[in-house]
Amino acid sequence: MTPGARFALVLLMVAAFPVAGALTSEKFPALSTTFHAIGTVCLGAGIFLTAQIFNLEENWTSGILLWAIGALIGWLLLEKWPHAAFLAVLAPI
């Protein structure tokens, strides 16, 4: 796969789960929370995979910081416990 195709796959993965969470929020709130939590995990994976795809030489703690900021934004918008748990784990690192 080309780097552009890999990056597109990463972007699709990061975007698909929050959209699925938004679409299922009315009828299936527990499934929506799960989709949003998986989206937060995919955000972290996307950050590190993007750095690997494009050979970015940056300190890994910067990636953790970006992931923690994403978890914070998710918690501020949704106020769900998985985002608070991710933030509690990621922020001290």
Task: Note the pTM of the prediction, 2 decimals.
Answer: 0.86
Q: Classify each residue of 52-74 as buried b or exposed e, where b means 16 or more C-beta atoms within 10 Å of its C-beta.
A: ebeeeeeeeeebbebbbebbbeb
Share of the chain above pLDDT 70, in %: 100
Rounded Cα–Cα distance for residues 76 and 70 (Å): 10
Phi then psi for 80, rounded to 5 degrees?
-105, 150
Cα Rg of the chain (Å, integer): 14
pLDDT in tens, 31-62: 999 999 999 999 999 999 888 888 888 788 88
